[in-house]
Chains A and B, each alone.
Chain A
Amino acid sequence: MDALAPAAPVEHGPSLRQRLAARGFDAVTLLVIPAAIFSLLLFVYPFAFGFVLSFEPKAGGDWLANYRRFFSDPFLYDTIANTLRLAIPVTLLNLLLAVPIAFRVRLMRRQRLLTTILVLPITLGTVLVAEGLLNYLGPQGWFNRTLITFGLISQPLKLVHNYWGVFASLVITGFPFTFLLTLSYVTGIDPALEQAAATLGASAWQRFRHVYLPLLMPGFAITFCLSFVQAFSVFPSAVLLGEPAGVTRVISIAAATAAFEEYDYSMASAIAMIMGFVQLGIVLAVLASRGLFYRGPASGAKG
């Protein structure tokens, strides 16, 4: 053999595993698989199934018959407005309440105790809260009796089985969630920024307006979306505390009626799809406006 013949080519460069790892695929990535299967089976498949089903009307007719029926019957399409009339003010009110409280709690040392108290309504569940409100705000409840005792009113106020009953219940069950999200965004902002603004002559309001608010807007948008979606799918309290045939006939009631009273799963699926697209529309609108605000780290230093 010629001594100068090239040696057998040695494999150079990183192995396949190293190359995959460099692109972010390694053994840890495989741990995502169970969750992916889970969401495929429990979310993607039912969603696709319902989507297809909504185009196969029970009563026959063309594929858009369910949607046409929904948008031609005020008893059905009014549910969208009914639901939005509840969900948007409730979400805004929760956010407006959460912001000042979060600003105060941020400075407190016993944060955990207060947070626990505030989170309690989440763990109680909507039905228990509805029962409590029925007793408390009802015509013979403590609230009305107290007001009558003090002579502030002569007739009990009607606070349940109407719009305000559902409103109150949504505020109670939605607030903790909104608050916790808001708190995490508020505490994520470097307090030195506020101090800097103060030494530069900014009053408390100016510090909020020019420093905190622009930095918090993206977080508020996310909080609004998540809280809104929660409120939009209101069901138990709309039935228990509201007027399920009238002002609080929300869209989920319409879907439940179609599914379990008319046994028209195709129509129910169509309503669920419409519900989904209304939510999606609002969320997308809010998130798109988020693009107008600064998005990035909420501290000045590179860290």
Chain B
Amino acid sequence: MTIALSQFDEVRLDRVSRDFGALNALRDVSLTIRRREFIALLGPSGCGKSTTLNCIAGLLPVTGGAIWLDKSRVDTLRPEERGFGMVFQNYALFPHLNVRQNIGFGLKMRGKPKAEIDRKVDEALNLVRLGGQENKLPGQLSGGQQQRVAIARAIVIEPPLVLMDEPLSNLDAKLRLEMRAEIRRIHNELGATTIYVTHDQDEALSLADRIVVLRDGVVRQAGTPKELYEAPAHLDVADFMGFRNKLQGKVVGSDGSRVVLDVEGARISGVARESLSTGAAAYAAVRPDDLMVGEAGQNAIAATVDTIEYRGREFVGTAHSRGGLDFVFRSHQSVEPGSPVHLRADDQRVLVFAEPIQGRQ
């Protein structure tokens, strides 16, 4: 293998901030990326994940903090001096250059000899499985092929860090799954270090070694996919991890990590994820998978079914409570829309959070 990515130990973001006028797009983001890691920056649009990526790439100057590549400071360098490979959301392929010229662009700008460029471009073409397409213009390629060119172009310059900005968002569902697997394969084969921006938790969970959830320019939680999936630290992280049912209530009692909420008169108990005091407002979060039609009683809440969908092995329905809470639930039997049900969840599967942060402070 002649494509050998530059070696380093870690990239460190040290309290990086970025303001746009009065708007703090990023606030004191600190993050250490170790060699060969696949990091996903996850969050809703406007959370600052793309801003973070652009700051690392050098396309946006930081307004505070520093970025380090081992012992050298890189946030003061121009993007062309950093040498990080970047894959853009719309691919940003040069429309006037063919596939081979697009991939070889970075090497040509570095003044590499032609033989070396050819050899490395060939290898990159093989790596992304684009053999036979090298003389086509980007406009003649399908979306998936353009994506492969964009990846090849970014890795052929042997960057220490590969940055990807929602690279799959322009592809259809089937291609997205295929390219997701391809991205992970290429990452592994090259031993690359990748920072991957996405708003899709499935992508983040399946690709990343570590996920960083951002919201309003602040890191809300960072951890392995398993940690985030099983133990989200905040309500907004839980929301991203598929806890679609958020039951607002009031804390009526607690016992160690177990808390009991009053939700519209029903008693819902669950595992506290944040410190909660009696009488405070709180949210019980439950995944649709864990909310089932059942008997009235402990951890059950009365609701009226709105819709019910057949999903093969089971049914997925939506319902609302007297007080206006919306639910998504699972059921083994079909339930008539309009009929009253009790939805219950195992108290081990209910996570209880404090009030979420309210917008930007």
Question: A residues near B, CB below 8 A?
Answer: 190, 192-193, 195-203, 206, 210-211, 214-215, 293-294, 296-302
Interface residues of B in 133-176 (CB under 8 A from A): 137-139, 143, 146, 153-154, 157, 163, 170
A29 to B310, CA, bound (A): 51
B88 touches A195 (CB 8 A): yes
Picked from B80, B85, B88, the residue with its CB within 8 Å of the CB of A192 is B88
Shortest A200–chain B CB gap in Å is 4
B96 touches A215 (CB 8 A): yes
CB nearest to B83 among chain A residues: A201
- Which of B102-110, B214-222, B281-289, B292-300 forms contacts with chain A? B102-110
Picked from B86, B95, B139, B143, the residue with its CB within 8 Å of the CB of A199 is B86
Residues on A with C-beta less than 8 A from B88 are 192, 195-196
A214 to B91, CA, bound (A): 19
CB nearest to A206 among chain B residues: B109
- 16 intermolecular pairs with C-beta atoms under 8 Å apart: A190-B90, A195-B57, A198-B78, A199-B82, A199-B85, A199-B86, A199-B154, A199-B163, A200-B85, A201-B157, A202-B105, A202-B109, A297-B95, A300-B94, A300-B146, A301-B91
Picked from B58, B86, B96, the residue with its CB within 8 Å of the CB of A296 is B96
Shortest B157–chain A CB gap in Å is 6
B58 touches A211 (CB 8 A): no
A215 to B88, CA, bound (A): 19
Residues on B with C-beta less than 8 A from A195 are 57, 59, 79, 86, 88, 92
CB nearest to B156 among chain A residues: A200
Contacts A198-B79, A199-B79, A199-B80: A294 and B57 contacting too (C-beta < 8 A)? no
B80 touches A203 (CB 8 A): yes
Residues on B with C-beta less than 8 A from A296 are 95-96, 137, 139
Interface residues of B in 244-302 (CB under 8 A from A): none
Residues on B with C-beta less than 8 A from A299 are 90, 95
What class of interface size applies to chain B in its complex with A?
Answer: 20 to 34
A300 to B87, CA, bound (A): 13
A203 to B111, CA, bound (A): 12
Interface centre among A201, A297, A301 (most CB of B within 10 A): A201
A192 touches B58 (CB 8 A): no
B94 touches A193 (CB 8 A): yes
A298 touches B79 (CB 8 A): no
CB nearest to B159 among chain A residues: A199
Q: Does B315 contact A (CB under 8 A)?
A: no
Shortest B101–chain A CB gap in Å is 10
Residues on A with C-beta less than 8 A from B163 are 199
Q: Does B41 contact A (CB under 8 A)?
A: no
Contacts A215-B95, A294-B95, A300-B94: A198 and B146 contacting too (C-beta < 8 A)? no
Shortest A93–chain B CB gap in Å is 27
Shortest A127–chain B CB gap in Å is 43
- 9 extra A-B contacts, CB within 8 A, seeds A196-B93, A198-B59, A201-B106: A196-B153, A198-B58, A199-B57, A200-B153, A211-B94, A296-B95, A300-B92, A301-B90, A301-B146
CB nearest to B143 among chain A residues: A302
